[in-house]
A and B are shown apart, each in its own frame.
Chain A
Amino acid sequence: MPASARRLPTGGIIDRSKSIGFRFNGKSYSGFAGDTLASALIANGVSLTARSFKYHRPRGIVGAGHEEPGSLVELVGDEQSANQPITTVRLRDGLDARSVNCWPSPHFDLMGINQLFSRFIPAAFYYKTFMWPNWHLFEPHIRRAAGLASAPDALLHQGLYETRHGHCDILVVGAGPAGLTAALAAARAGARVMLVDDQMQAGGSLSGLAENLDGRHALQWVDDVVAELDALANVVRLRSATAWAYREHNLIMVTERAPDEDHVFQRTWRVRARQVIIATGAIERAMVFADNDRPGIMMASAAQIYVNRYAVAPGQRAVVFTNNNSAYRVAAEMKAAGIEVAAIIDSRTDIDDAARSLAAGIEICQGQVVSRSEGRRRVKAAVIRSAAGGSERRIACDLLVMSGGWNPAVHLFSQSRGSLRYDTGIEAFVPDRAVQACLCAGSASGLFTLSGAIEDGAEKARLALRACGLDSPNAKLPTTVSELPYTIEALWHVEQDNPAAKSFVDIQNDVTLNDVHLAMREGFGAVEHVKRYTTAGMGIDQGKTGNINVIGAIANRAGQDLQDIGTTTFRSPYVPIEFGAIGGQREGPVVLPYRHTPITDWHRQAGAEMYEAGARWRRPGYYPLKGESFQQTVDRESLAVREGVGVYDGAPLGKFEIKGPDAGKFLDLLYTNVFSTLKTGMGRYGLMLTDDGIILDDGVSFKLGDNHFLMSTSTGHADEVNRHMEHVLQIERPQWQVMITTVTTQWANATVCGPKARQLVEKLCTDIDLSAEAFPFMAMREGTVAGIAARICRVSFTGELSFEINVAARHFAKLWDKIMEAGGPMGIVPVGSEANHVLRVEKGFLSLGHEADGTTDAYDLGMGWIMSKKKPDYIGKRSVEIRRAKDRPRRELVGLLIDDPARLVTEGAPVTPEGRRQASEGLVTACVHSVALKRSVALALLEDGRARIGQKAHIRMKDDVVSAEITAPCFYDPDGERLRS
């Protein structure tokens, strides 16, 4: 067929002066600016545009918007993108698209062989057929055979997606007659208005109608309204933007597909609105009859849009099949455009005169139905008969338009958790009770006349304004010409004369009427079960076209009302949204938050391997020298601390200043031991439990002064401890006067540790007596180090003499340099997290996430001494006591000396009786090569572990069983002489 064979000579809102070349399935075509890929292909006489999802049947263009169920395309080249409805792809120079679900082309598709075996592959066949020996053997092949286009392999738009936030008083979704009226009324009243519409050009249904408003073409009214809205500072109008999700607290997700800015490819808005007006229109539903999916069978409203908006004739000789009035106007407009309308097949027994007069000159077959279509790659004829059965009549046609009635587009309303009710007047589900601050307007609320939509838009704006505390000015509404009233007699499907025929209830997912009946026969009668059994309404369709016909089919077969059947859940996204548009700028290096200490650059320059080590902190794991293996590096760093001196960047340690008249008893409540008796300048190690008596955190708190403490927490749990403390103060003890200030990043801490630590610190700090007598273990002193104001704490995580030197973060780099400089002659080395881990395992110190794994309490870890017997209460006490009273065996912390001293076992490896494959009796929490013992050592949580010291434990590894001697969990300096030195 020659190019533009079906382009009408006049009309439409396309720009005929701008010709656009494009390619489809490898062939070149041309269209006009303003066309979609669908309209341009129709103009070029292309009717076979896709193959179906499962049976690979020939498919054409069915709709004209997002609801398109028949043809998905894959964009290639610079615009690479998968699974776009063909009707939503705007024509642009160089556009290159191809059909999905077919190979090599929709005209000759190898998988079309599925049609021969279709009777053997009904709904859910694979659930029954491919279970043995394993579903996963078949799954990839089935997905490949039935799947859609694959995700693009090129990151073409990386860095060009954006997400942002928006706020408004009233968000209007949809710029059709109701939405425009509502937005204008709200904007004139001074409200902050946001108007979003999924089309580039406002107008909604008006852009597809040959309609007049106020005595002129409706699109002129649209232009005037848009111009006024665009001139108002209190209005934000988004074009080509789809509201695709309605979340809690009136949060609506909107994605703009064509933002004005060149540097943004797509933008997703998170809009918080005080009121939402949903004016999303309605979606026409298909008629269900045998072979209702052939190319050339199209929604009546789509045909109307192609004729009026795009000035293309989707066929030359049409048959209209309807059960309602709306298709009569379509028939009249097609006829006016030069399309021969052979007949209107109306299943109703009663057709009003107004409808008849509108279709004057067209044969009307009252009480008749289309029982099947004929044709292969394009419809050739409609076969009709009486709705009750009887003789058939064949009407030749190349276009069969159908209108099974209209469904308000309730998807957003339903996502907002609003309820729906079935309206027998229009035979559709309509919005009922709203849960959030939203209103539906126009045909989205079930008003299918233009005047009704406009009046409803104005009324909903008034209600929304009132809810926002604003008055609505009186405004004259545009006048409409007399309209055909909307009447309908439901027809959910035409009875199949051939039981094996395929009458599709969901064209997109290839679900037939027989599939629905099969599901019901097998006991899946509820609508949600039918959906899952058949996949109807799933995927990209999300109930736009494939939902209510399924409900109708169930209701017919079950003999129930549709209201009693109910609907399935309308899920977001309403239309396919690219992951990039959801993630926005959050990709690449900022895909997850990360934290740096003040000397991250120093670590990098020193060659440290950096990775996250809790609470998003990127820390040095180890500092390999040239040619060193991981283990050699960790051994070297660990040995330096045991024999000389090392320094560790402890900046991430959680720190809080706690002050107030009730600060002491607050700490006594939080910790299992007593802190209120601390002397100023002294600290104490404490364990914090959850209400369940499980270890939440551990750390040291110092007394800074009267009613004033400095608490340190583990790095990974600092935020959780903060939340815990605020919860206690705000919920459980609101009368207590305690003030908490987070100072984690105010004070950066360099921990100097090792036998030579004192010698080093003495070189930098001259105003504090650092001797063990004057500055004992668990003491804190304030002074200057390297000329910088500092707080020095004597605590130790390595088991060696340690000084934690805390300075303001801005001075930390200088302090670190001074330490390295002063320590140079002593052979100081920077120590990473890995060496720290080795050193604490040698000491048997607990680590959160290892030994404190969310199941253990203090007794399990051999720390019963820290559970105060003096305090009447503390958080977690009661739970621990209840648990202990049950006298059930517990997993207790022990050490393991592996029989093979060179062998390391995996952390988390299970310990089982004699290494047998049975329920574990414990697990390895840590295993390292000890530089002190010159062999591997491990910690484990083992059932009744302490009573089994001296016995053997057996660790199940992937390929073998490793035996080890059970020991006490401390392998080094058990009396703590070195750390107190």
Chain B
Amino acid sequence: MGYHAHIERLDTSAIIDLKGRKDALVDWKGSDLPAIPERPNTATDANGLELYWIGNDHWLLRAPLDREEDILRTFDPGSAPHDVSAVLVSDTLVFFSITGPDAGQILSIVSPLDIALEAFTQNGVSYSEAFGLKALIIRRTEGYELAVERSYADMAQSYFTRIKG
């Protein structure tokens, strides 16, 4: 009998990597973005778009894959000012969802991130480590999402299978 958790490899998301000072980003496309998160390592969302503040002057904009062309038009990397970088990175990350009563246990096995609510809030999103690799971790209502660089996805999946018991 293993852990009570459901782990699923998710479909590719549309993701744009955004870099630059916050005011430059807002000047460029502030009206098209969800509100800029107020605290680092948190997320906001609006109109099906999610915005993750994941580093110093660094955000990820995420949407369902079928909106990739749409957001590429809106956030056209070629039209970004010199002090803003917008790069399509949809294919760089593979997401896994971890849900169920033991989702937290699964995450504590793969990652050193402190997932207590006071440390990793309800809208928390953070780069951390998983399986010894760089990984993006997102808190969801039902559990967590964890993303690793695409090339490591098969290994992550194998690892998850072993953990579940």
A-side residues, CB < 8 A to B, are 159, 162-167, 192, 261-264, 270, 272, 584-586, 588-590, 593-598, 600, 617, 651-652, 657, 659-661, 705-707, 737, 739, 741-748, 808-810
Contact = CB atoms under 8 A, between A and B. Distances in A.
Nearest to A742: B92
Contact of A746 (B91, B105, B112, B154): B91
Nearest to A263: B165
B10 interface: no
Given A652-B151, A705-B78, A164 B85 contact: no
5 contacts: A263-B165, A270-B112, A593-B133, A617-B151, A810-B12
Nearest to A267: B109
Nearest to A597: B151
Given A164-B105, A705-B78, A741 B165 contact: no
Given A596-B154, A746-B89, 20 more contacts: A162-B163, A261-B3, A261-B165, A263-B165, A272-B114, A593-B133, A594-B152, A594-B155, A595-B152, A657-B85, A659-B19, A660-B82, A739-B19, A744-B92, A744-B149, A744-B151, A745-B91, A745-B92, A808-B91, A809-B91
Contacts of B87: 657, 659, 741, 743, 746
B162 interface: yes
Residue in B1, B85, B111, B116 with the greatest tally of chain A CB atoms within 10 Å: B85
B90 A808 contact: yes
A745 B149 contact: yes
Nearest to A162: B109
A810 B15 CA distance: 13
B19 A590 contact: no
B62 to A, nearest CB: 15
Contacts of B153: 596
Contacts of A595: 149, 151-152, 155
B1 A192 contact: no
B23 interface: no
A108 B112 CA distance: 51
B91 A741 contact: no
Residue in B78, B90, B132, B154 with the greatest tally of chain A CB atoms within 10 Å: B154
Contacts of B109: 162-165, 584-585
Nearest to B91: A809
B149 to A, nearest CB: 5
Residue in A594, A617, A657, A744 with the greatest tally of chain B CB atoms within 10 Å: A657
Interface of B: 1-3, 12, 17, 19-20, 78, 82-83, 85, 87-92, 105, 108-109, 111-114, 116, 119, 131-133, 149-155, 158-159, 162-163, 165
The 7 closest A-B CB pairs, nearest first, are: A595-B151, A263-B165, A739-B85, A809-B91, A167-B114, A739-B19, A745-B150
A746 B90 contact: yes
Nearest to B94: A745
B57 to A, nearest CB: 8
Contacts of A809: 91-92, 150
B85 A659 contact: yes
A816 to B, nearest CB: 15
A85 B112 CA distance: 32
Contacts of A593: 131-133, 152, 155
Given A164-B108, A741-B89, A596 B151 contact: yes
A274 B132 CA distance: 23
Nearest to B163: A585
Contact of B165 (A164, A264, A651, A660): A264
Nearest to B102: A261
Given A263-B1, A808-B91, A810-B12, A745 B162 contact: no
A241 to B, nearest CB: 15
Residue in A272, A595, A737 with the greatest tally of chain B CB atoms within 10 Å: A595
A590 to B, nearest CB: 5
Contact of B85 (A162, A590, A596, A741): A741
B29 to A, nearest CB: 16
A590 B158 contact: yes
A737 to B, nearest CB: 6
Residue in B1, B78, B165 with the greatest tally of chain A CB atoms within 10 Å: B165
Contacts of A741: 17, 19, 85, 87, 89
A600 B163 contact: no
B47 to A, nearest CB: 24
Contacts of A746: 87-92
A166 B111 CA distance: 10
B116 A192 contact: yes
Given A165-B108, A585-B109, A585-B159, A600 B78 contact: no
A707 B92 CA distance: 23
Nearest to A737: B83
Given A585-B163, A590-B159, A737-B83, A810 B91 contact: yes
Nearest to B165: A263
Nearest to A661: B82
A872 to B, nearest CB: 24
Given A270-B112, A585-B163, A741-B89, A590 B131 contact: yes
A617 B152 CA distance: 9
A402 B32 CA distance: 79
Contacts of A164: 105, 108-109
A810 B20 CA distance: 28
B114 A589 contact: no
A707 B17 CA distance: 17
A166 B154 contact: no
B106 to A, nearest CB: 9
